[in-house]
Amino acid sequence: MRYDAIVIGAGIGGCAAGCVLAGAGKKVLVLERMGRTGGRCSSEEKFGYKMDLGGHIIIRCEYGPIEEALRRVGKGGVVKFRHLKKLMLKHSGLEVKMGVKMGSKEINNLIFSIIPPEIFTAVSQIMPLASGMMSGIVKQYDDMSIGEMLKKYVKSEQIQDLADLIQFVLFGMPYSLTPAGELLRIALDSTSGLLGSATERELSIGYPLGGLISIPEAMCEGIREKGGEVRLDVDVKKIIIEDERVAGVESADGEVINAPVVISNGGIKETVNDLVGEQYFESGYVDRINGLISGFAPWCLRAALDSSITDIEVALNVPVGNLEEQFSQMWYKRRIPEGMPAHMVISPSNMDPELAPCGKQSLIAYGPVAYNTDDSLDKLEEFALKALEDTFPGFTAHLMWHDFLTPADYAVFGEKEASIIGIAQTFNQVGDKRPSTVSPMEGLYFVGGEAGRDISGVGVELCARSGIACADYIVRTVFQKLGDGGAG
Ligand SMILES: Cc1cc2nc3c(=O)[nH]c(=O)nc-3n(C[C@H](O)[C@H](O)[C@H](O)COP(=O)(O)OP(=O)(O)OC[C@H]3O[C@@H](n4cnc5c(N)ncnc54)[C@H](O)[C@@H]3O)c2cc1C
């Protein structure tokens, strides 16, 4: 069998790239080392519960890049999303339960209250005329940290508290390391609400019915229906280079599969160093790739309850006024903070009752930690159980079983540093300084949380965008250059 392209890894980036290529009539083969699709955005059956690999809320749901990728393979509208309705915020000693309608005025106000006035004014004047210019203005803030921006422009403590929440949810990094430009990019990109034309659609935030895995599964089904192939349990050990260009891949079982294009969703450092070999690249490129900084790794506690104890869908629990201190302690000292580390709790079964046996409930708590922390991770497990009881009284009495995932459980997806989102959205790694999806090796591309120049967004959304942008580029340029329009 001759393939136009091989995609290594069926994470969201890999699946999205596969959709675009299959949708364009290319013969694509997706190889996934695990027995299921989705990578970090996936689910598994456990004792009658369908448990996700980590609590997720999805930005832009059916109006964003996930839907775009699905549409490319005729699967538009197949993944249904439950829009977030019941949110709990625990912050600064306050516990607020909200019935939120994402896209409402309050949410827009919250986001835009932290945008510097000069940006606000500039953007509202020029946005309709020149979106290109706007990205130039935002870019100027890529060298200023969110911390500096807040100090300079934001006086209200309340707004500072809200900014804590946003920082936690969007970036999970110390303020001092997150470029303000990236926040602005995400905020501006998320909505044109600034100009009074926000719609609920643009800010749609929710959860996929059927669990996280329903997203990659629908994408893979679409790829197959368009003539592509998705093979599970195939671990790619090597990318074959011949005549200074990609020729195919070799699996751990020694199977050789040829294709002129290989798209890796298996981590940019791991692809360059392990799958290809650094000797095939210029040393400056290898240094740049190896110097990329990954974001925090996750810890995750998944709990199965014998009955429903809360109707909250998502709870954000951010400690009183010391988020930056916590993050800095974890980041620089690799220590787990005392007290209450910031975390998020999601109840998949509240958003889709089919995910737990009738009348029962699932809760998933997760938060950031340094992948190489010097502290025992048992401390986090104990903390998480206590925090769940604090947030949802009766939790302990109704707990049937729980498991606890550590960074090592996520490292199997490729990236050794097991980051929640891939490379951190930090200085020199955002906007036009993000690594390109196009590698210097002819025929080799990267997708997922580690690649995509000028691509911004949050988590899954960003990965889907990187897959779409990469594959669109390949269809536009590479296959035309190859001259035969591909094997398909
Ligand atoms: C606990 C947790 C909570 C999160 N919460 C959110 C959230 O609320 N909202 C959000 O948008 N995002 C969230 N994220 C982030 C989101 O899950 C990731 O950004 C996204 O899923 C990463 O996709 P990716 O394309 O980088 O692929 P990955 O998930 O990294 O998948 C890569 C795939 O490639 C496979 N692979 C790697 N190497 C090989 C090889 N050599 N051969 C074959 N297969 C290989 C892996 O097995 C894996 O399936 C969260 C992540 C975690 C861990």
Ligand 1 near 413 CB (within 6 A): yes
Residue 410 alpha carbon, nearest atom of ligand 1: 53
Q: Whose CA is nearest to atom 37 of ligand 1?
A: 266
Residue 53 alpha carbon, nearest atom of ligand 1: 1
Residue 54 alpha carbon, nearest atom of ligand 1: 1
Ligand 1 near 458 CB (within 6 A): yes
Nearest to 172 by CA among 318, 40, 327, 387: 327
Ligand 1 near 34 CB (within 6 A): yes
| CB contact at 8 A, 36 and 11 | no
Ligand 1 near 405 CB (within 6 A): no
Residue 39 alpha carbon, nearest atom of ligand 1: 49
| Residue 379 CA, ligand 1 centroid: distance in Å | 25
Strand partners, 267: none
222 token code pair: 């679409």
Ligand 1 near 11 CB (within 6 A): yes
* Range 368-380 burial, b when 16+ CB lie within 10 A, else e: bbbbebeeebebb
| CB contact at 8 A, 84 and 243 | no
Q: Whose CA is nearest to atom 48 of ligand 1?
A: 39
* Per-residue pLDDT at 198: 43
Residue 40 alpha carbon, nearest atom of ligand 1: 29
Q: Whose CA is nearest to atom 34 of ligand 1?
A: 9
Fill in the amino acid letter for 309: I
Ligand 1 near 50 CB (within 6 A): no
pTM of the model: 0.91
* Per-residue pLDDT at 23: 98
Ligand 1 near 52 CB (within 6 A): no
In order along its 488 residues, the chain shows pLDDT tens digits of 789 999 999 999 999 999 999 999 999 999 999 999 999 999 999 999 999 999 899 988 888 899 999 999 999 999 999 988 888 887 655 566 655 544 445 555 555 555 555 565 555 554 544 455 566 778 888 888 887 887 777 767 666 666 777 778 788 888 888 898 888 888 776 654 344 344 445 567 899 999 999 999 999 999 999 999 999 999 999 999 999 999 999 999 999 999 999 999 999 999 999 999 999 999 999 999 999 999 999 999 999 999 999 999 999 888 756 788 888 899 999 999 887 788 999 999 999 999 999 999 999 999 999 999 999 999 999 999 999 999 999 999 999 999 999 999 999 998 899 999 999 999 999 999 999 999 999 999 999 999 999 888 889 999 999 999 999 999 999 887 666 544 43
| Residue 60 CA, ligand 1 centroid: distance in Å | 18
| Residue 352 CA, ligand 1 centroid: distance in Å | 22
* Per-residue pLDDT at 393: 95
Ligand 1 near 461 CB (within 6 A): yes
Ligand 1 near 58 CB (within 6 A): yes
- C-alpha–C-alpha distance, residues 371 and 295, integer Å: 9
Residue 346 alpha carbon, nearest atom of ligand 1: 8
- C-alpha–C-alpha distance, residues 219 and 229, integer Å: 12
45 token code pair: 């059956």
Phi, psi of 228 (to 5 degrees): -85, 175
Testing ligand 1's pocket by substitution, the residue of 8, 460, 462 carrying the most ligand atoms inside 8 A of its CB is 460
Ligand 1 near 239 CB (within 6 A): no
Ligand 1 near 420 CB (within 6 A): yes
| CB contact at 8 A, 238 and 275 | yes
DSSP letter for each residue of 311-359: --SEEEEE-SS-HHHHHHHHHHH--PPSS---EEEE-HHHH-GGGSSTT
Phi, psi of 207 (to 5 degrees): -140, 140
| CB contact at 8 A, 145 and 179 | yes
Task: Specify the 3-state DSSP secondary structure of 412.
Answer: coil
Ligand 1 near 463 CB (within 6 A): yes
| Residue 7 CA, ligand 1 centroid: distance in Å | 14
Ligand 1 near 368 CB (within 6 A): no
Residue 9 alpha carbon, nearest atom of ligand 1: 34
| Non-local CB neighbours of 25 within 8 Å, separated by 6+ positions | 226, 227, 485, 486, 488
Q: Whose CA is nearest to atom 32 of ligand 1?
A: 11
